[in-house]
Every structure is written in C-alpha cells, then in structure tokens.
Amino acid sequence: MNLIEKLESGQRLSYEDGVALYDLDLFTLGMYADKIRRNKYQNKTYFNINRHINPTNICKDVCQFCAYSASRKNPKPYTMSHDEIMKTVDNSVKNGIKEVHIVSAHNPDSGLQWYLDVFRKIKEKYPDLHVKALTAAEIHFLSEEYNLSYQDIIDKMIENGVDSMPGGGAEIFDEKVRKRICGGKVTSDQWLEIHKLWHTAGRQSNATMLFGHIEKPEHRIDHMVRLRELQDKSGGFNAFIPLVYQRENNFLKVKNFMKGQEILKTMAISRLMLDNIPHIKAYWVTSTVKLALLSQEFGANDLDGTIEKESINSAAGAASATGMPLQEFVDVISNSGFTPIERDSLYNEVRDWSIESKWKLNPKT
C-alpha cells in the first residue's frame, strides 16, 4: 500500500511514512488531517478558561532555548511567595478561570514542600478549580533533589491536590538533539516513564514537542512515534501540543525561522501520526493567533485557553504576556468559521460559546 492509499484507508502510519509525509504538499496533508478532525469533532474548537502561573524563574538547568530562567540573558531572578500565588489565584477565580496551570524553573531553594503546600492551599480554598501542575522535568528535578522515586513525588502531588500534569519538558526526544538543546535535564526515557507512572495512577496528562530549532523533520516523527507507543500502553495523554520555537533572548543560535507552511504541515502530520491521542492543540502563544486559527483547518481541534498571563514563552518573544480576553477568544474562533466550545481540563464539554455570544448580542433571541 502506498502512502496515499494508507491515508485514504486510515491505516496506522509508520516512522518512514511519517518522514515521507513532509514531502507531500500542504493542502494534501491538510485535507487528510481535516477529514479526521471533522469526523471526530465536526466544527467544534475546544478551549478553556485558564490561568498560567510561573512561580519562580531560578533554575539549576541551562536549556539553550530557554529565555525564561534567570541567567546572564535574563538577570532578573524571582520567586513568588505563597501569598502572591494565592492572590493571583483569588483574582483569577473571580475572573472565572476553571484551571490553574503551574509550572516553573528547577529552583533548588524552593523545595518540594513549598510546591506541595501551595497546591494544597489552592485545592482547600477552591476544590472545583482544576490544578494542572509540574512537568515531568520538574518531577525529575525534585526526585533528584530529595532522593525520592518518581512514584513518591507523584503520590505526594495527588495527595496535595494536583489533578493533571502538563506536557512541558518533552522538547525533542532524539538523544543527540536533546543533548545539544537541554543536556542535563530529564532524559527522554525518564520523561516517558514519569508520564507512564502518572497514567498508571489513573491520571491524565498532555505531551508537548518543541520544534523549529535545530531538529529535523525526522526527529519530530521519532518524537511522535515514541509518544504513540506509550499511549498504546498507558492511554493517559489527552492532547499533543507542538510548541513553535521562539527565538529571542536565548542561547540557541537559530538563523532560519520556520515558515508558516512548515508549522501547518507539522500540525497536520501530528493529527495523522497520532491516531491514539484525541486532541491536537494549536497553542496560539507560540504559533501566533492567526496560525492557530488556520491550524483548525489542518487537524487542530483545541486552542488552549485565555491564559491571563504567561512568562515562559513570552520571555522568548511570544505575544502572550497578558493572555487574551474571553470575548475576544470566542470571537476569533467564531469569526474563523468554527464553533467555540468551552471544555474542562479533561475535555468534557462545558458550554457552547457561539450560543452564549449570540445571546449576549441579542438577549431576546
């Protein structure tokens, strides 16, 4: 069976097929990715009302792509107090957030208990607020600092109110590329092992991929195949999030920025390769809002959320420092021809905002 026949029949694609997909033209890829997306979700695009909190930028690791951690590129170290974090959560809850997404640098001074206490405080005050916290990279860091197993840290996270794990820290699994861009932090096998343990505990998580730096298309496909293999066994990944590399204020010297076409191709190929991960998220923070909206026609069915404030990607040039107001978020999805569906953090549908918006504009209808 040739590649087009496989795409027509929906047969699982091999690593070699995945690499060959990059030789197809964008519209062919888009057509097949869109077909799958529409079969599963029709015209719906999911988003949630969330808040990102990045409590500290002091980091023991030096990832070459990172502009967020305090270093000679960003000489402004900070650590938020629990009071500051709680005030932020209080304000955001008043603004209607349903999820708080807490990820940080690997700060040896903060301490495991510091994290656990803040998760517990949030959960005690707001039992219905979904806490998505700690990347596999942070779990690995904490396990080394405190000489605890991954399982110990995971048990403590669950005891203290963490509901799900974000997908950060995956970067690119290929060991040679990984060594160059973030040698010294969690390895690919360890990242996958931590998510496997999390899924075995009955919990769900996401998976990211950082692309558009020094990696090649075959590394992206290898990354997707490794995730697909784990998902076959553990089944706990909700969403795959291809993160477009932002090139400002960091140590990686990347001359050629990816073209929009390559970003859309990667979005479509993610949908085609990852037949067992339900949601493909176009993270507007790194792709730009315009490309995220276009990605809806190239396999993506989720646009993350309103965010309110974001520090990691905005430090490297993304226009996400202040999030996006809810009405604007809903409007851009509607105006691009899709139906904005608010979801909870585990992808249960909460509200159809196209109806809500119409009602707001004309309360009598």
Contact 227, 237 (CB under 8 A): yes
Strands 339-343 and 349-352: antiparallel
DSSP conformational letter for 316: G
Least distance to ligand V47, CB of residue 268, Å: 20
The reply on whether position 245 binds ligand V47 by CB under 6 A is: yes
Residues 192-221 touching ligand V47, rule: CB under 6 A, are 206, 208, 210
Residues 71-130 touching ligand V47, rule: CB under 6 A, are none
With CA atoms as reference, report the closest residue to 301 among 357, 349, 364.
Answer: 349
Site mask for ligand V47 (CB under 6 A), range 313-352, x = bound: x--x------------------------------------
The reply on whether position 266 binds ligand V47 by CB under 6 A is: no
With CA atoms as reference, report the closest residue to 329 among 34, 41, 43, 48.
Answer: 48
> Judged by CB, which is closer to ligand V47: 160, or 246?
246
The closest residue (CB) to ligand V47 is 168
**DSSP letter string, 242-303:** EEEPP-TTSS----SPPPHHHHHHHHHHHHHH-TT--EEB--HHHH-HHHHHHHTTTT--EE
The reply on whether position 302 binds ligand V47 by CB under 6 A is: no
Site mask for ligand V47 (CB under 6 A), range 11-50, x = bound: ----------------------------------------
Distance in angstroms (rounded) separating the CA atoms of residues 185 and 116: 21
The reply on whether position 67 binds ligand V47 by CB under 6 A is: yes
> Judged by CB, which is closer to ligand V47: 179, or 360?
179
Residues 133-172 touching ligand V47, rule: CB under 6 A, are 135, 166-169, 171
Q: What's the Rg (C-alpha) of the chain?
A: 20
Contact 28, 284 (CB under 8 A): no
Which amino acid belongs to residue 315?
A
Contact residues: ligand V47, CB under 6 A: 65-67, 135, 166-169, 171, 206, 208, 210, 241, 243, 245-246, 250, 283, 286, 304, 312-313, 316
